[in-house]
A and B are shown apart, each in its own frame.
Chain A
Amino acid sequence: MKALSLAWRLLVRDWKSGELTVLGVALIIAVTSLTAVAFLTDRVGHAVELRAAESLAADLRLGSSQPIPASYKEMAIEADLDTASMTTMPSVVFDGDQSTLSAVRAVTGNYPLRGRLKTASQLLGQAAETSEVPAPGEAWATTRLLARLGSDTGAVITVGKASFKVTKVLDFRPDQGWQFVDLAPTLLINMADLEKTALIQPGSRVSYRLLLAGSRNDIDTFKPRLEEQLAQGERLSDIQDTNPQIRSAMERSGRFLNLASLVSVLLAAVAVAMSARRYALRHRDRIALLKCLGSQQPFILKLNLLQLVMLTILGAVAGTILGFAAQEALAWVARDLITQQLPLPGASPVFLGLVTALFILCGFALPDLVQMGKTPVLRVLRQDVEPPPLRYGISYVAGLVAVLALLQWLVRDIKLVLGIAAGAAGTFAVLGLAGWALVKATGRFRGVAGVAWRYGLANLSRRGRESIAQVVAFGLGLMVLMLLTLVRNDLMDSWRDSLPENSPNQFLINIQPYEVPQMQQFLEEKGIEVPRFSPLVRARMTAINGQDVNQISFEDPQGERWAKRESNLSFGDEIQTGNTLTSGQWWQPGSNSREVSVEEDFGRELGVKLGDELSFDIAGEPVQATVTSFRTVEWDTFRPNFFMVFSPAALDGYPASYITALYASDDDDEKIIDLMRLFPSVTVIDLEASLAQVRDVMDKASLAVQAVFLFTLIAGLAVLWAAVQSSLDERSFESAILRTLGASRGRVLTGVTVEFLAIGFLAGLLASSGASLAAWHLAVNVYELQYSFSPVLWLTGPLLGMIFVGISGMIATWQVVTHSPLNVLRAS
């Protein structure tokens, strides 16, 4: 109790006198930047999740070929979830003499639970969002359906035994997807009309869906409860199962953000470490005095720890409040960039703030503060008595452990964290060594310059260890800033370039082989770029290495699903754009061997390896091929891609249809409708909406990354400030002595500025090298993007270093030089 109140009083007094400012502010910046980023990413992440949920039209979707038991819906309502139903069946739609196959979807009034329908009042009309569904007796038809029937809104169509008036063109359904099952064009009707159509008969192919939505907590608790109840044939989907494009975009943005917050943590930690060291140095006398006044070692330790805990709590609270405010401000500033309102952040960042403050202080300040506690009492009589020197090994290990623990807590990917640890350790070692070499080399130049320069450069090598530490710290800070600039610009650009404005947005499937040349000609005439046509063969997997797939016990349930459902196979001599071989070899063009290249994740889920033999049943005929390569596929490129691509020798000659993807601008709508009329059996799937979803995810992610960038910049400045402050006392003293000896104010200033400029230059040089290498590594190995080295970087690094460090040095030194030398000498 006594220690608690004394610790509190000493802390308050330290804060009032300005002793704690640097340490406190560094800590607050750390917590602020981390929590602001966490708050923002929490909101953005939630927005992205909601956006992803739109592609299900719900948070959870239960699908079955049998009517869904009413008990599920009751359970959901009890659990405070919203529900909606959709029943889908294929049926021929008639408009007078014209008829076409359609997917008739009957929905309840609150469909969709996530996302909005878009409708237009007539063909090619302006589409707008609506929160309604067709009224009883009315139907909404897609452009494709109307194009095939040759009709427009106002038409009266017949479905089964009922007639409907087409009142709107259905432009977009959030859950329209583009899986091959969504083949037929949609006719949307009200659930109340379903019975009238008399379409549901024994044996008819009906699919039932129950859509569920609610708060994240409610969904998370409800999902496992529902899963327990599920019967055979009932399948539950959540956002994890949404289309691979959105999933891939989410994963990438997650990695960007993790990288960025990690950098803030490191920078802030460096700042805290530097200011803690200064604090400890300045408080050795106090500790000696407290001991002299009769305080015992355990009491001193307790006092220091209590102060640390108080500082943690204060820093965490202040930082979290500021972080929340900063994040609100950012969201407000960027409100025009975000097409959708951001949901409110959750509470978890508050906890993050506390944990961050604790980890950073324990890892980076505790060793110094504990060491400070060991100051011998004899220091009150002899100023040259120091506490036993801090074992740098111990302090680095403590820092490293704290950072790793924090990272693991943030990223929750031990492999990634260990990778980062190895990288960071290597970076520190290399930077330290390079810093040492540079400082040594610079010392050699002191003889060739004037007095002020000699003083500055001499200082650099005299404070050898401190100089290296500062060069490394500044270098690291600058490196991270430059890296982030690169990551943000180069990598974000590369990412966006992977989905350029003219990415394919129309998927054409079900093209018969004889239609391919006709369609190529049509596209050419209409001035649309003719894309690659990929053959598609429907097949069923029968055996792996001769063993019946029904007998195999798959380790991965997803693999089992893949094996047992109908597969879409393709073949060709060329590897598709966006596909990269990871192992094995692609076949020689024209080779006679029966080979198959398998997508890596798909192969892992199936449990196949190179050399395995896969057997398929294609329209009753057995086909075998050997796995000779694995590939990765960029799913978010929106090109036709296949889990399994065969050598032509394996599949050529089997019944195939073709698929392709092309880009059509808004002005091309009529050409696409012409195409639908000319090739009625071809299915055109408009992907524009899905593309927009993915682009939206990218926009949000890049907003978050930029916010992180801003905070990292602030954290970097904190490092700079802490470093300048940490040598301030010594500089004041030296400056006073120099001025007492007759040096002019300008000369002292020049000397110290030279020293800072040299540190800045060396740090910048290190930063440029480090940032280039790291950006290259990240681009190539983590983000799987192309990277080109930038020569500008090598100029900016040293220049930025000199400007940043030089100016800060000047400012700090100004203060040093303006103090009366007498006062400084007296005070010391």
Chain B
Amino acid sequence: MLTILDQVSLQVSHGERIAIIGASGAGKSTLLGLLAGLDLPTSGRVWLSGRELTALDEDGRAALRADEVGFVFQSFHLIPSLTALENVMLPLELTHHEQPLQAATQALENVGLGDRAGHYPRQLSGGEKQRVAIARAYVTQPSVLFADEPTGNLDQQTGETIIEILFNMNREYGTTLVLVSHDLGLAQRCDRIIRMEAGQIRSSTEQSAEKPS
């Protein structure tokens, strides 16, 4: 059997921003998947917002995600057959939000894409796609936001814009942020940096304050 994560112990406080960094194959994404309840460890336990994820079944974890969690991915994961606005509306519709249209429109405007609402993902640039994804992640006002290499597919300048938006939203909503990246500059803007190597946490460094970008 292949051991991907080993002896990992990690606690993230409410409102904290942490960055998980490490080389490819270090187990960053696997750790993120476990923290978000997307996957289960073969042994060990995971809690999210006071509830033990590892004790919940697939549907229980899904319900918890719907209430508490937002995601931003490296490859955006927008649904190609839905417009930007419809993509943002989707989580609201799933949680039976009363006014998904207004909330989603507002969320798109917050990321500066109010005028691209009717466009399909294929008509958007990479940065725009990620902004739609951020709008979708924040539109339900989750208590935790997981971001998996959010700038990995973007050029530096676009990446910085995206980070700016991500952190602004984090401040505005007081969301806990768990970020996976191998961009040290990005990591240094978080409260804590978790460095991973060969499936283990090598170091956990507290940052004094957010550095200007």
Quick one: closest A residue to B180, CB to CB? Answer: A381
Q: Complex: how many Å from CA A285 to CA B69? A: 18
The reply to whether B126 and A294 contact each other, CB–CB distance below 8 Å, is no
Quick one: closest A residue to B80, CB to CB? Answer: A17
Interface presence of B165 (CB below 8 A): no
The reply to whether A294 and B120 contact each other, CB–CB distance below 8 Å, is no
Q: Complex: how many Å from CA A285 to CA B73? A: 12
Q: Of residues 40 to 72 in B, which have CB atoms within 8 Å of A's CB atoms?
A: 58-59, 62-67, 69, 71
The reply to whether A293 and B120 contact each other, CB–CB distance below 8 Å, is no
Given contacts A17-B120, A295-B62, A827-B122, contact A378 B82 (CB under 8 A): no
The reply to whether B81 and A17 contact each other, CB–CB distance below 8 Å, is yes
| Central interface residue in B64, B69, B79, B148, by most chain A CB within 10 Å | B79
Q: Of residues 362 to 414 in A, which have CB atoms within 8 Å of B's CB atoms?
A: 377-378, 380-383
Interface presence of B32 (CB below 8 A): yes
Interface presence of B171 (CB below 8 A): no
Which range contains the number of A residues in contact with the other chain?
20 to 34
Interface presence of A289 (CB below 8 A): yes
The reply to whether B90 and A381 contact each other, CB–CB distance below 8 Å, is no
Partner of B38, one of A290, A297, A377: A377
The reply to whether A17 and B90 contact each other, CB–CB distance below 8 Å, is no
The reply to whether B73 and A381 contact each other, CB–CB distance below 8 Å, is yes
Partner of A293, one of B58, B75, B91: B91
Interface presence of A612 (CB below 8 A): no
Interface presence of A296 (CB below 8 A): yes
Given contacts A289-B79, A381-B73, contact A294 B91 (CB under 8 A): yes
Residues of B within 8 A of A9 (CB): 93
Partner of A378, one of B33, B77, B86, B120: B33
Q: Complex: how many Å from CA A377 to CA B33? A: 9
Residues of A within 8 A of B63 (CB): 294, 296
Q: Complex: how many Å from CA A286 to CA B82? A: 10
The reply to whether B65 and A293 contact each other, CB–CB distance below 8 Å, is yes
The reply to whether B71 and A13 contact each other, CB–CB distance below 8 Å, is no
Q: Complex: how many Å from CA A292 to CA B69? A: 9
Residues of B within 8 A of A378 (CB): 33, 38-39
Interface presence of A161 (CB below 8 A): no
Quick one: closest A residue to B148, CB to CB? Answer: A381
Q: Of residues 285 to 322 in A, which have CB atoms within 8 Å of B's CB atoms?
A: 285-286, 288-298
The reply to whether B66 and A294 contact each other, CB–CB distance below 8 Å, is yes
Interface presence of B209 (CB below 8 A): no
Interface presence of B106 (CB below 8 A): no
Q: Complex: how many Å from CA A684 to CA B32? A: 98
Interface presence of B29 (CB below 8 A): yes
Q: Of residues 16 to 51 in A, which have CB atoms within 8 Å of B's CB atoms?
A: 17-19
Q: Complex: how many Å from CA A282 to CA B126? A: 20
Quick one: closest A residue to B78, CB to CB? Answer: A289
Residues of A within 8 A of B58 (CB): 296-297, 377
Q: Complex: how many Å from CA A288 to CA B67? A: 17
Q: Complex: how many Å from CA A647 to CA B65? A: 90
The reply to whether A291 and B82 contact each other, CB–CB distance below 8 Å, is no
- 1/0 contact string of B83-105 vs chain A (CB within 8 Å): 10010001101111000000000
Residues of A within 8 A of B120 (CB): 17
Quick one: closest B residue to A14, CB to CB? Answer: B81
Residues of A within 8 A of B81 (CB): 13-14, 17-19, 286
Given contacts A17-B81, A17-B82, A380-B71, contact A293 B90 (CB under 8 A): yes
Quick one: closest B residue to A19, CB to CB? Answer: B81
Q: Complex: how many Å from CA A297 to CA B62? A: 9
Given contacts A17-B120, A292-B38, contact A380 B73 (CB under 8 A): yes
The reply to whether B79 and A381 contact each other, CB–CB distance below 8 Å, is no
Partner of B93, one of A6, A17, A298: A6
Can you list 25 residue pairs at the A/B interface with Cβ under 8 Å? A14-B81, A19-B80, A286-B81, A289-B79, A290-B94, A292-B38, A293-B65, A293-B66, A293-B91, A293-B94, A294-B63, A294-B64, A294-B91, A294-B94, A296-B63, A297-B58, A377-B62, A378-B38, A380-B38, A380-B71, A380-B73, A380-B77, A381-B29, A381-B38, A381-B73
B binding-site residues for A, Cβ under 8 Å = 29, 32-33, 36, 38-39, 58-59, 62-67, 69, 71, 73, 75, 77, 79-83, 86, 90-91, 93-96, 120, 122, 126, 148
Could you list 15 further interchain pairs (A-B, Cβ under 8 angstroms) beyond the known A294-B95, A380-B73?
Answer: A6-B94, A13-B86, A17-B120, A289-B79, A291-B62, A293-B65, A293-B91, A294-B62, A295-B66, A296-B62, A296-B63, A297-B58, A298-B59, A380-B77, A383-B75
